[in-house]
Amino acid sequence: MSTTNYVSLSKEEIDRAKRTDLASLLTSMGESVKRSGSEYEWLDGGRKVTLRGCVWFHQYEMTGGDAIDFAQRFFGKTFPEAVVFLNGGSSAQLLRSLPAEKEKKPFALPPKNDNMRRVFGYLCGGRGIDRDVLHTFVRRNMVYESADYHNAVFVGYDKDNIARHAHKRGSCSQSSFKGNVDSSDPAFSADRYAVFYFHAQK
């Protein structure tokens, strides 16, 4: 076990680590960072991560945090290791300690509800989708209502008609929830329902 798990960290050290400029950190490691307006963009395996000073936001996973969270999420550091690294660890030390890719949770569609009343109300009544158009996508199993939270679930399939991606959207008029199912493959995110989904996002 790493000895940094036993390091006594002061509040000042933790606060200083949290304020680490992430774009500068990644640049110093030889990573490609692209400026976008007042922010920067970095790619996590092809998935965009937005950087603004010491904070970040993963556009695909819809998660974010401060610099310590960044070191834990992307470099596999424990909290103490992240603080020590951000306060002076070298990029060479980091690269030697990068972990193997974490095992992903298997992709699984949320369970279907026995009816789609709430989703039909949301998409047709709230979003103005034609009922016949929605029925077409429902028959193709590309849109359904989840049994757990009654989300609208948009499903993307591969060429063998195997579900590879699912996007969830809250069906309540007050809800702003949206997010992808764990281990969704972005290559199949919207290619088959792009126009429909575009209208649903209005």
Span 15-35, average pLDDT = 90
What is the CA angle 107-108-112, rounded to 5? 155
What is the pLDDT, as a whole number, of residue 202?
47
In a domain, 104, yes or no: no
The last residue of one of the domains, among 97, 129, 153, is 97
Q: Are residues 78 and 127 in the same domain?
A: no
pLDDT at 118: 92
Q: What CATH number does the domain containing 22 carry?
A: 3.90.580.10
Q: Is residue 102 part of a domain?
A: no
**Residue 105 falls inside a structural domain:** no
Q: Which residue has the tokens 């939270």?
A: 149
Same domain? For 129 and 90 the reply is no
Predicted confidence (pLDDT) per residue in 106-117, tens digit: 999 999 999 999
Greater model confidence, 128 or 194:
128
Both tokens of residue 27? Answer: 């640049």
Is pLDDT above 90 for 195? Answer: no
Q: Average pLDDT, whole number, for the chain?
A: 81
Tell me what pLDDT residue 190 has: 53
Closest residue by Cα to residue 104 from 179, 173, 169, 182? 182
Q: How many domains does the chain have?
A: 2
Q: pLDDT at residue 24 above 70? A: yes
Mind listing the pLDDT tens digit for each residue in 143-190?
999 999 899 999 999 999 999 999 998 887 667 788 888 888 888 875
Q: Which domain holds residue 188?
A: 117-200
Whether 112 is covered by a domain: the verdict is no
Q: Is residue 85 located within the same domain as residue 129?
A: no
pTM assigned to the model: 0.48
195 closest CA partner among 108, 141, 130: 130
